[in-house]
Structure formats: structure tokens, C-alpha cells
């Protein structure tokens, strides 16, 4: 018996991403999901068969925790300047390519137009790197027909000049102290048992086109926000109750924004060794979890949840987030 065995061609190895002049190194891998949407005509004899409707490519990855102003400006551009981005396309006016550089192959795999679908959350603690997982989404280039050879994917590149910006010394971890608005002690010097988690709300709206699939994707104001969670290390239960505004003259009443309560303001996180600061704008405490047990800190990981309120100057939305560089 003649047996034909097809030998596998194994393709593996590290890669990094380039987009908009920014190089993003990843902690482990870059996962690329081909998202095809279809529809199926109905007949009395059953489904006629799936037909194509639209396609996009979604890249999911966890950036290496290299702390640079360039990465922060790219990841959080919409939260740094919401008036520029809310309601606008997540893709630049000119098509911005997204390229995967496969180091071991010395090849590139690219997309004609990409933008941020979900920025990474920030974890400010000495025991973790900064960035959580993030997502880029790629659709067909603007002003280009699907019949074009470079509508959505670039031709595979045969070689590239290796980037040299990777730097272990830029992977920064630090101890962060928090200060809430202009409040006095202890809220002017807050510690966290497991660091601070800054969550960046980011909601997009897909605009469909029957002729090309997806015409554009816009950033919605709905779901665009910032939240912070932490487990306080130096607050008593009574002090947490005060922060929450449960009752009394400073109680948060129905209809009031948590972030406009008496115990609210900008939350400034300051690195005690390297001096970088991260500011979540106009926050107020929403809820708190507690544990009563032997060997357990009263406030578990992520016990305090803080949420923001939008603000504006002369009718223009203010920034939700800010940072300043340290060493």
C-alpha cells in the first residue's frame, strides 16, 4: 500500500507590532482573529448556504511593560484628549497600517488600516508590569474596493530592518501612593494592598456598508469612561465609610454623581522611586467590599471601586486621564 504523508511546515517565533510610528513589543504572543460575518438565504428546502457580509481582523496581545511617553500617548490618546476622539473614527484620516514583524522568519504580515478597539488597563504596583491586554482592529482601507489587491491585507514582506528600541531597563515597576483631590489625611496619602487598577472604558460602533462590508468604526461616548479599583492598606472601616458617603451631611443622594460628592476629586498616583505620575480625573467612590475572617485583610483585592464624571471647560470635554514622566 502506498502511503502519502504530508510533512508539516511549522511556523513559529517571536513577533512585535508596528503602527502609527509606534513599536509595540508583547509579553507572549499576538493572537489574530479573522472575524467573518455572514448571512444565509432561506428557502422551503432549507438554507441556501452562507454568504459573505463583512470581515475584520482583531489583534489581541499584552504589551511589554516598557514605560515610555510614546506608548502612553498612543494607548490613551482618546482619554487624554476626548474632544478630539469621541464620535470620530478610530482610524486616522489617512489609512494607518498595522504590521506584525515576525522576527525568526524575517517576514512581515500587515493590514492596510488599523486602530485601537480597546486600550490596555493599567496596573500600578511593584509586583506587576503596567499594561493589561489590548486590542487592535483592522478593516478595509478607506476609498479602496474589496477587489483591490491591497484592500485589507498587505502582501507578505520578504524581509525587514530589525527594530532596536527594545530596552529591558524601560520595564518599570514602582510603589504608588494615591492622593484624592484636595482631601486631607488619610485620603491625601493612600496605600494599596495589591496596587491600583485603572480601567479604561472604550466602546466602539461599527458602521456597516452592504457593498464593502464595514465602512468605518467610531468611538462612542456611551461607555467611554475611567474606573479605578484598589484595596486600601491604611484606611479604617470608618474612614472607608466616610469615603463612600453612605449617610450624614455628606451622603451621596439619589441622582447625584459619585464623582461630584464631597469625597471626590482627581486621583493622583505617584511612583515613589521613579516619580512617574498617573492621574484619573474627577473620581468618586461607588462601592466597597469587606471580608471578616482570620488571616484576611478587611478589604480584599479590588475592594474599592471608584468611577468618574465627565467635566468640561467652555463646553469642551476635559481630559479623563493624564500622566507625567519620571525617571
Secondary structure (3-state) at 85: helix
Question: pTM for the whole thing?
Answer: 0.94
Q: How far apart are CA 222 and CA 277, in angstroms?
A: 27
Q: Choose among 205, 217, 219, 232: nearest CA to 306.
A: 232
What pairing do the DSSP bridges indicate for beta strands 122-124 and 176-180? unpaired
Tell me which DSSP letter residue 289 carries: -
Q: What DSSP state is assigned to residue 210? A: T
For residues 221-245, average pLDDT: 96
Range 216-241 average pLDDT: 96
Mean pLDDT of 273-285: 98
Predicted local distance difference test score (pLDDT) of residue 95: 86
- Report the SS3 class of residue 223: coil
> Nearest Cα to 121, choosing from 68, 222, 59, 197?
197
Predicted confidence band at 94 (pLDDT cuts at 50, 70, 90)? confident
What is the mean pLDDT of the segment spanning 187-195?
98
Listed by start position, the domains of the chain span: 15-37+53-154+171-324
For 18-27, b/e burial (b = at least 16 CB within 10 A) is bbeeebbbbe
| pLDDT digits 0-9 by tens, 37-50 | 999 999 999 999 99
CA torsion sign for 174, 327, 177, 250 is negative
Distance separating the N- and C-terminal Cα atoms of the chain: 70
Give the HSE-up count for residue 174: Cα atoms under 13 Å, Cβ half-sphere: 23
Amino acid at each position: 500500500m502506498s502511503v502519502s504523508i504530508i510533512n508539516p511546515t511549522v511556523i513559529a517565533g517571536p513577533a512585535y507590532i508596528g503602527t502609527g510610528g509606534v513599536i509595540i513589543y508583547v509579553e507572549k504572543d499576538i493572537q489574530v482573529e479573522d472575524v467573518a460575518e455572514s448571512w444565509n438565504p432561506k428557502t422551503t428546502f432549507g438554507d441556501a448556504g452562507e454568504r459573505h457580509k463583512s470581515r475584520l481582523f482583531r489583534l489581541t496581545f499584552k504589551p511589554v511593560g516598557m514605560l515610555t511617553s510614546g506608548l502612553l500617548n498612543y494607548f490613551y490618546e482618546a482619554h487624554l484628549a476626548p474632544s478630539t476622539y469621541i464620535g470620530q473614527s478610530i482610524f486616522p484620516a489617512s489609512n494607518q497600517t498595522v504590521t506584525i514583524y515576525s522576527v525568526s522568519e524575517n517576514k512581515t504580515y500587515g493590514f492596510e488600516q488599523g486602530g485601537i478597539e480597546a486600550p490596555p488597563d493599567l496596573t500600578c504596583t511593584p509586583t506587576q508590569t503596567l499594561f493589561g491586554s489590548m486590542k487592535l482592529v483592522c478593516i478595509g482601507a478607506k476609498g479602496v474596493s474589496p477587489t483591490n489587491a491591497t484592500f485589507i491585507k498587505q502582501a507578505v514582506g520578504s524581509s525587514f530592518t530589525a527594530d532596536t528600541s527594545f530596552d529591558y531597563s524601560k520595564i518599570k515597576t514602582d510603589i504608588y501612593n494615591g492622593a484624592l483631590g484636595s482631601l486631607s489625611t488619610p485620603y491625601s496619602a493612600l496605600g494599596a494592598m495589591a496596587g491600583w487598577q485603572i480601567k479604561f472604558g472604550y466602546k466602539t460602533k461599527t458602521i456597516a456598508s452592504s457593498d464593502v462590508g464595514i465602512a468605518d468604526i467610531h468611538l462612542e461616548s456611551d461607555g467611554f469612561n475611567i474606573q479605578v479599583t484598589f484595596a486600601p492598606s491604611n484606611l479604617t472601616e470608618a474612614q472607608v465609610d466616610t469615603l463612600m458617603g453612605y449617610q450624614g451631611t455628606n451622603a451621596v443622594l439619589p441622582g447625584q454623581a459619585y464623582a461630584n460628592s464631597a469625597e471626590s476629586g482627581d486621583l493622583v498616583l505617584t511612583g515613589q522611586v521613579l516619580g512617574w505620575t498617573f492621574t484619573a480625573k474627577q473620581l468618586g467612590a461607588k462601592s466597597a467590599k469587606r471580608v471578616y475572617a482570620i488571616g484576611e485583610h478587611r478589604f480584599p483585592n479590588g475592594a474599592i471601586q471608584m468611577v468618574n464624571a465627565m467635566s468640561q471647560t467652555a463646553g469642551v470635554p476635559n481630559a479623563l486621564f493624564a500622566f507625567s514622566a519620571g525617571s
